[in-house]
Amino acid sequence: MNGKHLVKLGLEKKAIALAQTAATTRETAGLTRDDILSELRAVQQNPAAYATGGVYAPLAAELLAQQAILDARRGSDLRAQPLPYPTWGADLIDPGAHRQMDVAMRLPISRAGALMPDAHVGYGLPIGGVLATENAVIPYGVGVDIGCSMMLSVLPIQPGALRTDDATTLLLKHTRFGAGVAFDKRDRQDHEVLHESTWDDQPILRHLYDKAATQIGTSGSGNHFVEFGTLTLPTADLGLDPGEYLAVLSHSGSRGFGAQVAGHFTALAERHHPTLAPEAKKLAWLPLDHEDGQAYWQAMSLAGRYALANHHLIHTRLARALNVTPLAQVSNSHNLAWKQTVNGQDLIVHRKGATPAAPGQLGLIPGSMADPGYVIRGLGHDGALHSASHGAGRQLGRKAATSTLNKKDVQAYLTTRGVTLIGGGIDEAPQAYKRIEDVIARQEDLVDVIASFQPRVVRMDTGSEDI
Protein backbone atom coordinates (compact mmCIF):
# COMPACT_ATOMS: atom_id res chain seq x y z
CA MET A 1 0.00 0.00 0.00
CA ASN A 2 1.51 3.34 -0.97
CA GLY A 3 0.51 6.97 -0.56
CA LYS A 4 -0.85 7.27 -4.11
CA HIS A 5 -3.66 4.84 -3.34
CA LEU A 6 -4.61 6.87 -0.27
CA VAL A 7 -4.43 10.21 -2.09
CA LYS A 8 -6.92 8.85 -4.63
CA LEU A 9 -9.36 8.29 -1.77
CA GLY A 10 -9.39 12.07 -1.24
CA LEU A 11 -7.92 11.94 2.26
CA GLU A 12 -6.11 14.94 3.71
CA LYS A 13 -2.54 14.91 5.05
CA LYS A 14 -3.18 13.89 8.66
CA ALA A 15 -5.82 11.37 7.62
CA ILE A 16 -3.43 9.88 5.04
CA ALA A 17 -0.82 9.27 7.75
CA LEU A 18 -3.39 7.56 10.00
CA ALA A 19 -4.72 5.51 7.07
CA GLN A 20 -1.18 4.42 6.20
CA THR A 21 -0.61 3.22 9.77
CA ALA A 22 -3.87 1.27 9.79
CA ALA A 23 -3.18 -0.17 6.34
CA THR A 24 0.23 -1.43 7.45
CA THR A 25 -1.39 -3.19 10.41
CA ARG A 26 -3.98 -4.81 8.14
CA GLU A 27 -1.31 -5.87 5.62
CA THR A 28 0.55 -7.57 8.45
CA ALA A 29 -2.69 -9.41 9.25
CA GLY A 30 -2.68 -10.78 5.71
CA LEU A 31 -5.27 -8.63 3.94
CA THR A 32 -4.81 -7.70 0.29
CA ARG A 33 -4.54 -4.15 -0.97
CA ASP A 34 -8.03 -4.29 -2.46
CA ASP A 35 -9.47 -5.52 0.82
CA ILE A 36 -7.80 -2.71 2.73
CA LEU A 37 -8.97 -0.06 0.26
CA SER A 38 -12.49 -1.42 0.61
CA GLU A 39 -12.27 -1.09 4.39
CA LEU A 40 -10.88 2.43 4.13
CA ARG A 41 -13.78 3.47 1.87
CA ALA A 42 -16.19 2.06 4.45
CA VAL A 43 -14.50 4.14 7.18
CA GLN A 44 -14.81 7.25 4.97
CA GLN A 45 -18.49 6.66 4.37
CA ASN A 46 -19.38 6.03 8.02
CA PRO A 47 -16.54 7.02 10.38
CA ALA A 48 -18.83 7.01 13.42
CA ALA A 49 -19.18 3.22 13.12
CA TYR A 50 -15.42 2.80 13.52
CA ALA A 51 -14.64 5.50 16.07
CA THR A 52 -15.32 3.45 19.20
CA GLY A 53 -12.34 1.11 18.85
CA GLY A 54 -10.20 -1.03 16.60
CA VAL A 55 -7.43 -0.41 14.13
CA TYR A 56 -9.37 2.27 12.26
CA ALA A 57 -10.48 4.25 15.33
CA PRO A 58 -7.77 6.98 15.09
CA LEU A 59 -8.59 7.52 11.38
CA ALA A 60 -12.31 7.56 12.08
CA ALA A 61 -11.85 10.12 14.86
CA GLU A 62 -9.83 12.37 12.55
CA LEU A 63 -12.45 12.12 9.79
CA LEU A 64 -15.21 13.00 12.26
CA ALA A 65 -13.20 15.98 13.52
CA GLN A 66 -12.61 17.20 9.98
CA GLN A 67 -16.28 16.86 9.15
CA ALA A 68 -17.26 18.79 12.28
CA ILE A 69 -14.93 21.63 11.29
CA LEU A 70 -16.29 21.71 7.76
CA ASP A 71 -19.89 21.63 8.97
CA ALA A 72 -19.21 24.53 11.32
CA ARG A 73 -17.49 26.58 8.64
CA ARG A 74 -19.49 25.60 5.64
CA GLY A 75 -22.19 28.20 6.18
CA SER A 76 -23.37 27.69 2.64
CA ASP A 77 -26.60 29.63 3.06
CA LEU A 78 -26.45 32.97 1.29
CA ARG A 79 -27.67 36.16 2.91
CA ALA A 80 -31.20 37.08 1.91
CA GLN A 81 -29.94 40.47 0.68
CA PRO A 82 -26.48 41.56 -0.47
CA LEU A 83 -24.40 43.79 1.75
CA PRO A 84 -24.29 47.31 0.31
CA TYR A 85 -21.24 48.22 -1.77
CA PRO A 86 -20.16 51.36 -3.64
CA THR A 87 -19.89 51.52 -7.42
CA TRP A 88 -17.73 53.80 -9.53
CA GLY A 89 -18.92 54.56 -13.06
CA ALA A 90 -22.32 52.92 -12.68
CA ASP A 91 -23.35 54.31 -16.07
CA LEU A 92 -20.56 52.27 -17.71
CA ILE A 93 -21.36 48.95 -16.06
CA ASP A 94 -23.75 46.34 -17.48
CA PRO A 95 -26.45 44.83 -15.19
CA GLY A 96 -24.84 41.39 -15.36
CA ALA A 97 -21.77 42.60 -13.47
CA HIS A 98 -24.02 44.07 -10.78
CA ARG A 99 -25.90 40.78 -10.48
CA GLN A 100 -22.65 38.89 -10.00
CA MET A 101 -21.45 41.38 -7.40
CA ASP A 102 -24.77 41.14 -5.59
CA VAL A 103 -24.33 37.37 -5.29
CA ALA A 104 -20.77 37.84 -3.99
CA MET A 105 -22.04 40.25 -1.33
CA ARG A 106 -24.55 37.63 -0.16
CA LEU A 107 -21.81 35.16 0.76
CA PRO A 108 -21.65 34.57 4.53
CA ILE A 109 -17.91 35.28 4.48
CA SER A 110 -18.22 38.66 2.70
CA ARG A 111 -17.60 41.80 4.72
CA ALA A 112 -17.12 44.59 2.15
CA GLY A 113 -16.89 45.11 -1.58
CA ALA A 114 -16.67 47.62 -4.42
CA LEU A 115 -17.20 47.69 -8.17
CA MET A 116 -14.76 49.52 -10.43
CA PRO A 117 -15.81 51.48 -13.57
CA ASP A 118 -14.29 48.92 -15.95
CA ALA A 119 -16.42 46.12 -14.45
CA HIS A 120 -18.02 43.50 -16.67
CA VAL A 121 -19.23 39.92 -16.37
CA GLY A 122 -16.67 37.24 -15.53
CA TYR A 123 -16.71 33.83 -13.86
CA GLY A 124 -17.77 34.05 -10.23
CA LEU A 125 -16.72 37.53 -9.16
CA PRO A 126 -17.16 40.08 -11.95
CA ILE A 127 -14.01 41.41 -13.56
CA GLY A 128 -13.50 44.77 -11.92
CA GLY A 129 -14.93 43.43 -8.66
CA VAL A 130 -13.23 43.91 -5.28
CA LEU A 131 -14.34 41.69 -2.41
CA ALA A 132 -13.19 41.52 1.22
CA THR A 133 -13.83 38.26 3.06
CA GLU A 134 -13.13 37.00 6.56
CA ASN A 135 -10.73 34.07 6.97
CA ALA A 136 -11.47 32.77 3.48
CA VAL A 137 -10.09 32.96 -0.04
CA ILE A 138 -12.13 32.42 -3.21
CA PRO A 139 -10.12 30.97 -6.13
CA TYR A 140 -12.53 32.47 -8.68
CA GLY A 141 -12.40 35.72 -6.73
CA VAL A 142 -8.79 35.88 -7.85
CA GLY A 143 -9.43 34.52 -11.32
CA VAL A 144 -8.07 31.88 -13.67
CA ASP A 145 -5.02 33.94 -14.69
CA ILE A 146 -3.58 34.20 -11.18
CA GLY A 147 -1.25 37.14 -10.78
CA CYS A 148 -2.16 38.74 -14.11
CA SER A 149 -0.20 41.98 -14.02
CA MET A 150 1.27 45.01 -15.74
CA MET A 151 4.80 46.34 -16.14
CA LEU A 152 6.21 49.54 -17.64
CA SER A 153 9.87 50.28 -18.40
CA VAL A 154 10.89 53.83 -19.28
CA LEU A 155 13.91 53.79 -21.59
CA PRO A 156 16.66 56.41 -22.12
CA ILE A 157 15.69 56.76 -25.79
CA GLN A 158 13.70 59.42 -27.59
CA PRO A 159 10.39 57.98 -28.90
CA GLY A 160 11.21 58.79 -32.52
CA ALA A 161 14.64 57.19 -32.36
CA LEU A 162 13.26 53.65 -32.62
CA ARG A 163 11.89 53.01 -36.11
CA THR A 164 8.68 51.04 -36.50
CA ASP A 165 10.42 48.30 -38.45
CA ASP A 166 13.07 47.92 -35.76
CA ALA A 167 10.48 47.84 -32.98
CA THR A 168 8.56 45.18 -34.89
CA THR A 169 11.70 43.08 -35.31
CA LEU A 170 12.50 43.34 -31.60
CA LEU A 171 9.03 42.25 -30.54
CA LEU A 172 8.99 39.33 -32.95
CA LYS A 173 12.38 38.12 -31.76
CA HIS A 174 12.08 38.68 -28.02
CA THR A 175 8.43 37.95 -27.16
CA ARG A 176 6.22 34.87 -27.48
CA PHE A 177 2.41 34.68 -27.34
CA GLY A 178 -0.33 32.08 -27.22
CA ALA A 179 -1.54 29.02 -25.35
CA GLY A 180 1.29 26.56 -24.71
CA VAL A 181 3.97 28.62 -26.45
CA ALA A 182 7.56 28.84 -25.25
CA PHE A 183 10.97 29.96 -26.39
CA ASP A 184 13.24 27.33 -27.87
CA LYS A 185 15.22 25.71 -25.08
CA ARG A 186 18.46 27.37 -26.16
CA ASP A 187 16.82 30.81 -25.93
CA ARG A 188 15.02 30.24 -22.63
CA GLN A 189 16.03 32.42 -19.69
CA ASP A 190 16.32 31.49 -16.06
CA HIS A 191 14.79 33.35 -13.11
CA GLU A 192 15.14 33.06 -9.36
CA VAL A 193 11.42 32.25 -9.00
CA LEU A 194 12.13 28.84 -10.57
CA HIS A 195 14.60 28.06 -7.78
CA GLU A 196 12.25 28.67 -4.87
CA SER A 197 11.79 25.75 -2.50
CA THR A 198 8.02 26.35 -2.61
CA TRP A 199 7.78 24.22 -5.76
CA ASP A 200 8.52 21.15 -3.63
CA ASP A 201 5.87 21.85 -1.00
CA GLN A 202 2.81 20.53 -2.85
CA PRO A 203 2.22 17.73 -5.37
CA ILE A 204 0.44 20.09 -7.79
CA LEU A 205 3.34 22.55 -7.72
CA ARG A 206 5.86 19.79 -8.35
CA HIS A 207 3.67 18.53 -11.19
CA LEU A 208 3.44 21.97 -12.83
CA TYR A 209 7.07 22.99 -12.39
CA ASP A 210 8.22 21.80 -15.81
CA LYS A 211 5.37 23.67 -17.52
CA ALA A 212 6.25 26.85 -15.64
CA ALA A 213 9.94 26.51 -16.41
CA THR A 214 9.22 25.92 -20.10
CA GLN A 215 6.90 28.94 -20.46
CA ILE A 216 8.92 31.41 -18.38
CA GLY A 217 9.27 34.81 -20.02
CA THR A 218 6.31 34.40 -22.39
CA SER A 219 2.75 35.74 -22.64
CA GLY A 220 -0.63 34.12 -23.14
CA SER A 221 -3.48 34.87 -25.48
CA GLY A 222 -6.53 37.14 -25.12
CA ASN A 223 -5.70 40.67 -24.01
CA HIS A 224 -2.05 40.05 -23.15
CA PHE A 225 0.38 42.31 -25.00
CA VAL A 226 3.85 43.80 -25.19
CA GLU A 227 4.14 47.18 -26.85
CA PHE A 228 6.51 50.04 -27.55
CA GLY A 229 5.05 53.49 -27.14
CA THR A 230 5.50 57.06 -26.00
CA LEU A 231 5.32 57.92 -22.31
CA THR A 232 4.38 61.54 -21.66
CA LEU A 233 5.29 62.86 -18.22
CA PRO A 234 3.82 66.35 -17.69
CA THR A 235 5.70 67.11 -14.47
CA ALA A 236 8.75 65.64 -12.79
CA ASP A 237 7.94 62.24 -11.24
CA LEU A 238 9.16 58.64 -11.15
CA GLY A 239 12.62 60.10 -10.63
CA LEU A 240 12.42 61.59 -14.14
CA ASP A 241 12.30 65.06 -15.65
CA PRO A 242 9.11 66.00 -17.50
CA GLY A 243 9.05 65.11 -21.18
CA GLU A 244 8.48 62.28 -23.62
CA TYR A 245 10.23 58.92 -23.39
CA LEU A 246 10.25 55.64 -25.27
CA ALA A 247 8.69 53.01 -23.04
CA VAL A 248 7.71 49.32 -23.04
CA LEU A 249 4.37 48.28 -21.55
CA SER A 250 3.39 44.65 -20.99
CA HIS A 251 0.31 42.79 -19.78
CA SER A 252 0.79 39.14 -18.89
CA GLY A 253 0.04 36.54 -16.24
CA SER A 254 0.98 33.13 -14.85
CA ARG A 255 0.38 31.16 -18.06
CA GLY A 256 -0.73 27.51 -17.98
CA PHE A 257 0.73 27.05 -14.50
CA GLY A 258 -1.63 29.58 -12.93
CA ALA A 259 -4.64 28.35 -14.88
CA GLN A 260 -4.18 24.79 -13.66
CA VAL A 261 -3.68 25.96 -10.07
CA ALA A 262 -6.95 27.88 -10.35
CA GLY A 263 -8.82 24.87 -11.71
CA HIS A 264 -7.45 22.50 -9.07
CA PHE A 265 -8.33 24.68 -6.10
CA THR A 266 -11.69 25.77 -7.49
CA ALA A 267 -12.66 22.10 -7.60
CA LEU A 268 -11.48 21.70 -4.00
CA ALA A 269 -13.48 24.76 -2.93
CA GLU A 270 -16.62 23.41 -4.57
CA ARG A 271 -16.19 20.15 -2.68
CA HIS A 272 -15.99 22.14 0.55
CA HIS A 273 -19.41 23.65 -0.23
CA PRO A 274 -21.54 21.04 -2.01
CA THR A 275 -24.80 22.73 -0.96
CA LEU A 276 -23.84 26.24 -2.07
CA ALA A 277 -26.59 27.89 -4.13
CA PRO A 278 -26.09 27.36 -7.89
CA GLU A 279 -25.70 31.07 -8.60
CA ALA A 280 -22.78 31.19 -6.14
CA LYS A 281 -21.10 27.91 -7.12
CA LYS A 282 -18.11 29.65 -8.73
CA LEU A 283 -17.65 31.70 -5.56
CA ALA A 284 -16.92 28.66 -3.41
CA TRP A 285 -14.23 29.48 -0.86
CA LEU A 286 -11.46 27.84 1.12
CA PRO A 287 -11.03 28.62 4.85
CA LEU A 288 -7.58 30.01 5.50
CA ASP A 289 -7.25 28.00 8.71
CA HIS A 290 -7.79 24.81 6.72
CA GLU A 291 -4.92 23.08 4.95
CA ASP A 292 -6.64 23.51 1.56
CA GLY A 293 -6.89 27.26 2.09
CA GLN A 294 -3.26 27.46 3.17
CA ALA A 295 -2.20 25.42 0.15
CA TYR A 296 -4.11 27.69 -2.24
CA TRP A 297 -2.63 30.81 -0.67
CA GLN A 298 0.86 29.41 -1.10
CA ALA A 299 0.22 28.40 -4.73
CA MET A 300 -1.51 31.69 -5.53
CA SER A 301 1.37 33.71 -4.11
CA LEU A 302 3.88 31.68 -6.11
CA ALA A 303 1.83 32.21 -9.28
CA GLY A 304 1.83 35.95 -8.60
CA ARG A 305 5.61 36.01 -8.30
CA TYR A 306 5.92 33.85 -11.41
CA ALA A 307 3.73 36.25 -13.41
CA LEU A 308 5.90 39.22 -12.45
CA ALA A 309 8.98 37.16 -13.34
CA ASN A 310 7.58 36.76 -16.86
CA HIS A 311 7.37 40.56 -17.14
CA HIS A 312 10.90 41.08 -15.84
CA LEU A 313 12.33 38.65 -18.38
CA ILE A 314 10.37 40.27 -21.24
CA HIS A 315 11.62 43.73 -20.29
CA THR A 316 15.16 42.50 -19.68
CA ARG A 317 15.31 40.94 -23.15
CA LEU A 318 14.13 44.10 -24.87
CA ALA A 319 16.35 46.45 -22.86
CA ARG A 320 19.37 44.23 -23.50
CA ALA A 321 18.60 44.13 -27.23
CA LEU A 322 18.54 47.93 -27.23
CA ASN A 323 21.69 48.04 -25.08
CA VAL A 324 20.06 50.27 -22.47
CA THR A 325 19.15 50.22 -18.78
CA PRO A 326 15.60 51.37 -17.92
CA LEU A 327 15.38 54.74 -16.22
CA ALA A 328 12.31 53.72 -14.21
CA GLN A 329 9.96 50.77 -13.88
CA VAL A 330 6.43 50.40 -12.53
CA SER A 331 4.52 47.15 -12.04
CA ASN A 332 1.42 45.85 -10.31
CA SER A 333 -0.70 42.72 -10.10
CA HIS A 334 -4.45 42.97 -10.64
CA ASN A 335 -5.66 39.35 -10.25
CA LEU A 336 -4.70 38.41 -6.73
CA ALA A 337 -5.82 38.36 -3.08
CA TRP A 338 -4.14 40.38 -0.36
CA LYS A 339 -4.27 40.42 3.43
CA GLN A 340 -5.51 43.89 4.34
CA THR A 341 -6.98 45.70 7.33
CA VAL A 342 -10.46 47.00 6.52
CA ASN A 343 -12.32 49.07 9.10
CA GLY A 344 -10.00 47.73 11.78
CA GLN A 345 -10.56 44.07 10.80
CA ASP A 346 -8.00 41.78 9.18
CA LEU A 347 -9.62 40.58 5.95
CA ILE A 348 -8.73 39.03 2.62
CA VAL A 349 -9.22 41.50 -0.25
CA HIS A 350 -9.74 39.91 -3.66
CA ARG A 351 -9.04 42.09 -6.67
CA LYS A 352 -10.21 40.36 -9.81
CA GLY A 353 -9.27 42.82 -12.50
CA ALA A 354 -8.65 45.71 -10.12
CA THR A 355 -5.47 47.72 -9.48
CA PRO A 356 -4.16 48.15 -5.92
CA ALA A 357 -4.36 51.87 -5.12
CA ALA A 358 -3.21 52.39 -1.56
CA PRO A 359 -2.07 55.93 -0.65
CA GLY A 360 0.94 56.77 -2.81
CA GLN A 361 1.03 53.36 -4.52
CA LEU A 362 2.06 53.41 -8.19
CA GLY A 363 0.11 51.39 -10.72
CA LEU A 364 -0.78 51.01 -14.38
CA ILE A 365 -4.18 51.21 -16.07
CA PRO A 366 -3.97 50.36 -19.80
CA GLY A 367 -6.52 51.22 -22.48
CA SER A 368 -6.63 49.05 -25.59
CA MET A 369 -4.25 48.19 -28.43
CA ALA A 370 -4.67 51.70 -29.83
CA ASP A 371 -5.81 53.79 -26.87
CA PRO A 372 -3.67 55.34 -24.14
CA GLY A 373 -2.77 53.78 -20.85
CA TYR A 374 -1.94 55.61 -17.64
CA VAL A 375 0.57 55.55 -14.83
CA ILE A 376 -1.38 56.29 -11.66
CA ARG A 377 -0.76 56.92 -7.99
CA GLY A 378 -3.32 55.60 -5.54
CA LEU A 379 -5.29 57.87 -3.22
CA GLY A 380 -6.23 55.12 -0.77
CA HIS A 381 -10.02 55.45 -0.92
CA ASP A 382 -11.39 53.34 1.93
CA GLY A 383 -14.74 52.70 0.23
CA ALA A 384 -12.95 51.24 -2.79
CA LEU A 385 -10.81 49.09 -0.48
CA HIS A 386 -7.78 50.98 -1.84
CA SER A 387 -8.49 49.86 -5.42
CA ALA A 388 -9.00 51.25 -8.92
CA SER A 389 -9.85 49.87 -12.37
CA HIS A 390 -7.37 47.57 -14.10
CA GLY A 391 -8.10 48.78 -17.62
CA ALA A 392 -10.88 50.07 -19.83
CA GLY A 393 -13.09 46.99 -19.43
CA ARG A 394 -15.00 45.21 -22.17
CA GLN A 395 -18.24 46.56 -23.59
CA LEU A 396 -18.51 43.68 -26.09
CA GLY A 397 -17.85 40.04 -25.30
CA ARG A 398 -15.45 38.15 -27.52
CA LYS A 399 -18.16 36.46 -29.57
CA ALA A 400 -20.09 39.70 -29.96
CA ALA A 401 -16.97 41.56 -31.04
CA THR A 402 -16.07 38.91 -33.60
CA SER A 403 -19.56 38.83 -35.07
CA THR A 404 -20.33 42.56 -35.10
CA LEU A 405 -17.10 44.50 -35.64
CA ASN A 406 -15.88 45.29 -39.13
CA LYS A 407 -12.23 44.52 -39.78
CA LYS A 408 -11.81 47.59 -42.03
CA ASP A 409 -13.15 49.88 -39.30
CA VAL A 410 -10.70 48.43 -36.80
CA GLN A 411 -7.80 48.82 -39.22
CA ALA A 412 -8.81 52.43 -39.88
CA TYR A 413 -8.91 53.11 -36.13
CA LEU A 414 -5.36 51.77 -35.76
CA THR A 415 -4.12 53.75 -38.75
CA THR A 416 -5.64 56.99 -37.47
CA ARG A 417 -3.77 56.57 -34.20
CA GLY A 418 -0.50 55.54 -35.83
CA VAL A 419 -0.47 52.06 -34.31
CA THR A 420 1.27 49.08 -35.92
CA LEU A 421 -0.25 45.79 -34.77
CA ILE A 422 1.47 42.39 -34.80
CA GLY A 423 -1.13 39.65 -34.32
CA GLY A 424 -4.19 40.80 -32.42
CA GLY A 425 -7.65 39.41 -32.97
CA ILE A 426 -10.88 41.19 -33.82
CA ASP A 427 -12.09 40.14 -30.36
CA GLU A 428 -9.47 42.51 -28.91
CA ALA A 429 -10.31 45.47 -31.14
CA PRO A 430 -10.45 48.89 -29.45
CA GLN A 431 -14.17 49.07 -30.23
CA ALA A 432 -14.74 46.03 -27.98
CA TYR A 433 -13.66 48.14 -25.00
CA LYS A 434 -15.09 51.06 -23.10
CA ARG A 435 -13.41 54.40 -23.69
CA ILE A 436 -10.48 54.51 -21.30
CA GLU A 437 -10.91 58.28 -20.90
CA ASP A 438 -14.44 57.70 -19.56
CA VAL A 439 -13.22 55.03 -17.14
CA ILE A 440 -10.41 57.23 -15.82
CA ALA A 441 -12.82 60.15 -15.40
CA ARG A 442 -15.09 58.05 -13.16
CA GLN A 443 -12.32 57.35 -10.63
CA GLU A 444 -10.71 60.70 -9.98
CA ASP A 445 -11.22 60.14 -6.26
CA LEU A 446 -9.37 56.82 -6.43
CA VAL A 447 -6.17 57.74 -8.30
CA ASP A 448 -4.07 60.60 -9.58
CA VAL A 449 -2.85 60.26 -13.17
CA ILE A 450 0.84 61.11 -13.39
CA ALA A 451 1.72 60.01 -16.94
CA SER A 452 0.12 58.72 -20.13
CA PHE A 453 1.35 56.04 -22.51
CA GLN A 454 0.40 55.95 -26.19
CA PRO A 455 0.97 52.59 -27.93
CA ARG A 456 2.92 52.66 -31.22
CA VAL A 457 3.95 49.06 -32.03
CA VAL A 458 1.86 46.37 -30.36
CA ARG A 459 2.28 42.60 -30.28
CA MET A 460 -0.49 40.22 -29.20
CA ASP A 461 -1.63 36.69 -29.88
CA THR A 462 -3.64 36.38 -33.10
CA GLY A 463 -6.93 35.71 -31.35
CA SER A 464 -10.15 34.37 -32.85
CA GLU A 465 -9.74 36.25 -36.13
CA ASP A 466 -6.68 38.22 -37.17
CA ILE A 467 -7.21 41.94 -37.79
pLDDT tens for the 467 residues of the chain, in order: 666 666 666 777 788 888 889 888 888 888 888 888 888 888 988 888 888 889 889 888 888 887 766 554 455 689 999 999 999 999 999 999 999 999 999 999 999 999 999 999 998 999 999 999 999 999 999 999 999 999 999 999 999 999 999 999 999 999 999 989 999 999 999 999 999 999 999 999 999 999 999 999 999 999 999 999 999 999 999 999 999 999 999 999 999 999 999 999 999 999 999 999 999 999 999 999 999 999 999 999 999 999 999 999 999 999 999 999 999 999 999 999 999 999 999 999 999 999 999 999 999 999 999 999 999 999 999 999 999 999 999 999 999 999 999 999 999 999 999 999 999 999 999 999 999 999 999 999 999 999 999 999 999 998 655 66
What is the edge-to-edge ordering of all strands in the sheet holding 110-120?
110-120, 127-133, 345-352, 335-342
Return the SS3 of 289. Answer: coil
| The domain boundary residue, chosen from 75, 104, 123 | 75
- CA–CA separation, 310 and 191 (whole Å): 9
- CA–CA separation, 147 and 311 (whole Å): 11
Please check if 120 is assigned to a binding site. Answer: no
Bridge-partner residues for 467, per DSSP? Answer: none
Residue 339 · residue 348 · CB < 8 Å: yes
Please check if 277 is assigned to a binding site. Answer: no
Pair 264, 149 in one domain:
yes
305-338 residues labelled b (16+ CB within 10 A) or e (exposed): bbbbbbbbbbbbbbbeebeeebbbbbbbbbbbbb
Please check if 392 is assigned to a binding site. Answer: yes
| The domain boundary residue, chosen from 35, 56, 75 | 75
Please check if 62 is assigned to a binding site. Answer: no
Does residue 12 belong to any structural domain of this protein?
yes
Pair 153, 281 in one domain:
yes
Does residue 81 belong to any structural domain of this protein?
no
Pair 179, 316 in one domain:
yes
CA 59 to chain centre: 37
Residues identified as active-site: 390
Domain region containing 372: 139-460
Please check if 391 is assigned to a binding site. Answer: yes
Does residue 89 belong to any structural domain of this protein?
no
| The domain boundary residue, chosen from 22, 49, 75 | 75
Please check if 132 is assigned to a binding site. Answer: no
Which among 377, 322, 358, 378 is positioned nearest to 154, based on CA atoms? 322
Please check if 366 is assigned to a binding site. Answer: yes
Residue 142 · residue 337 · CB < 8 Å: yes
Does residue 129 belong to any structural domain of this protein?
no
Please check if 423 is assigned to a binding site. Answer: no
Domain CATH number, residue 386 = 3.90.1860.10
Does residue 123 belong to any structural domain of this protein?
no
- CA–CA separation, 311 and 278 (whole Å): 37
Does residue 260 belong to any structural domain of this protein?
yes
Does residue 87 belong to any structural domain of this protein?
no
Does residue 364 belong to any structural domain of this protein?
yes
Pair 365, 263 in one domain:
yes
Which among 374, 372, 338 is positioned nearest to 356, based on CA atoms? 338
Please check if 353 is assigned to a binding site. Answer: no
CA distances from 138 to 98, 259, 351, 359, 377 (A): 18, 14, 11, 26, 27
- CA–CA separation, 227 and 427 (whole Å): 18
pTM here? 0.84
Q: How many domains does the chain have?
A: 2
H-assigned helices in 228-339: 255-272, 291-322
